[in-house]
Amino acid sequence: MKIKTLILAGCMCMASAIPAFAAGPYVGFGGGLSLNHDSDLEVSGYSGSADVEYDPGYGFNVVGGYDFNPIRLEAEFAYRNSDVDEVENSSISDTEVSTMSYMINAYYDVKTFNSQIKPYFGVGMGLINGELEVDGYDEDDTTFGYQFTAGATTEVAKNVNLDLYYRFQGAPSDFEKDGVELSYNNSSFFVGFRFGF
């Protein structure tokens, strides 16, 4: 009987140590470092493709969703911007690529014991609008996109969570406009806050 009592008490203590991530609606925002992977640039009338390299850029997002605990579903708008560092066999300058994405994300929050940090992972899909700007002249195209996320969250105040996460975003089809095609893949490292209701 004493053993059962001790086990029960131990389980209750462990449960009480889990942060109170309440289920319900939430909104949030985040931002940080955005790194475009090298792209392939193809131009109609020219054979082959040129390699495009980028400088580190920045990004931010705003989200709104619902926490079903441990599953979360959310809608997200994000913006990313990176300057072009170099285009193979070209002297292009004053060039940047920016994207606006409209995603539906699903996350799974991993249950943890005796820790205030909860890891999570997720997937998302939606639309990505890419814009290439060269010397003030820009062209844009919209294509299907997807993303994968791995991160961790902790409660920093009542109904306020701090998120740290890595996100890979990609487009299976190139951005294409007026005979110019540009591939797109991106890695982002964001810090964000979520506010529950």
| Rounded Cα–Cα distance for residues 151 and 167 (Å) | 8
Instruction: Provide DSSP, 20-59.
Output: ----EEEEEEEEEEEEEPPEEEEETTS-S-EEEEE--EEE
pLDDT band at 135 (very low <50, low <70, confident <90, very high): confident
Number of domains, the chain: 1
Is the pLDDT score of 84 beyond 90? yes
Identify the burial level of 37 via C-beta atoms within 10 angstroms of its C-beta, where 0-12 means exposed, 13-18 middle and 19 or more buried: middle
Residue 178 CB contacts under 8 Å (≥ 6 apart), including other chains: 139
Range of the domain at 167: 2-196
Residue 69 CB contacts under 8 Å (≥ 6 apart), including other chains: 21, 22, 23, 109
89 closest CA partner among 141, 144, 44, 50: 50
pLDDT, residue 17, reads 41
- pTM for the structure as a whole: 0.86
pLDDT band at 21 (very low <50, low <70, confident <90, very high): low
192 closest CA partner among 32, 20, 23: 32
Sign (positive or negative) of CA dihedral 35, 121, 148, 125? negative
Find the CATH number of the domain harbouring 88. 2.40.160.20
Task: Sort strands 137-157 and 160-170 into parallel, antiparallel or unpaired.
Answer: antiparallel
